[in-house]
Amino acid sequence: MEMTANATEAAFHRKRADMRRFGMWLFLGSEVMFFTGFFAAYIVIRSASAGSIVQPLNKALGTLNTVILITSSFTMALAVLASKKGDRKGLVNWMGLTWILGVVFLCVKGVEYAQHFSEGIYPSTDIFHAFYFLFTGFHALHVIAGLVVMGVLWFRARRGDFNETYNDPIEMMGLYWHFVDLVWIFLYPALYLL
Residue list 155-174, contact with other proteins (CB under 8 A): 171, 174
Return the HEC string of the chain: CCCCHHHHHHHHHHHHHHHHHHHHHHHHHHHHHHHHHHHHHHHHHHHHCCCCCCCCCCHHHHHHHHHHHHHHHHHHHHHHHHHHHCCHHHHHHHHHHHHHHHHHHHHHHHHHHHHHHHCCCCCCCCHHHHHHHHHHHHHHHHHHHHHHHHHHHHHHHHHCCCCCCCCHHHHHHHHHHHHHHHHHHHHHHHHHHC
Stretch that binds other proteins, among 5-13, 100-108, 110-118, 142-150 (CB under 8 A): 5-13
Stretch that binds other proteins, among 63-71, 100-108, 111-119, 152-160 (CB under 8 A): 63-71
CA distance 41 to 194: 16
Q: By CB under 8 A, is residue 44 in contact with other proteins?
A: yes
Q: By CB under 8 A, is residue 175 in contact with other proteins?
A: yes
Q: By CB under 8 A, is residue 31 in contact with other proteins?
A: yes
Options 58, 61, 74, 161; binder of other proteins; rule CB under 8 A = 74
Q: By CB under 8 A, is residue 83 in contact with other proteins?
A: no
Q: By CB under 8 A, is residue 55 in contact with other proteins?
A: no
CA distance 99 to 154: 9
Q: By CB under 8 A, is residue 66 in contact with other proteins?
A: yes
Q: What is the number of other CB atoms lying within 10 angstroms of the CB of residue 62?
A: 21
Q: How far is the CB of 27 from other proteins (least distance, A)?
A: 5
How many chain residues bind other proteins (CB under 8 A)? 79
Q: By CB under 8 A, is residue 36 in contact with other proteins?
A: yes
Stretch that binds other proteins, among 64-72, 100-108, 146-154, 155-163 (CB under 8 A): 64-72
Residue list 120-149, contact with other proteins (CB under 8 A): 122-127, 130-131, 133-134, 138
Q: How far is the CB of 154 from other proteins (least distance, A)?
A: 20
Residue list 84-103, contact with other proteins (CB under 8 A): 84
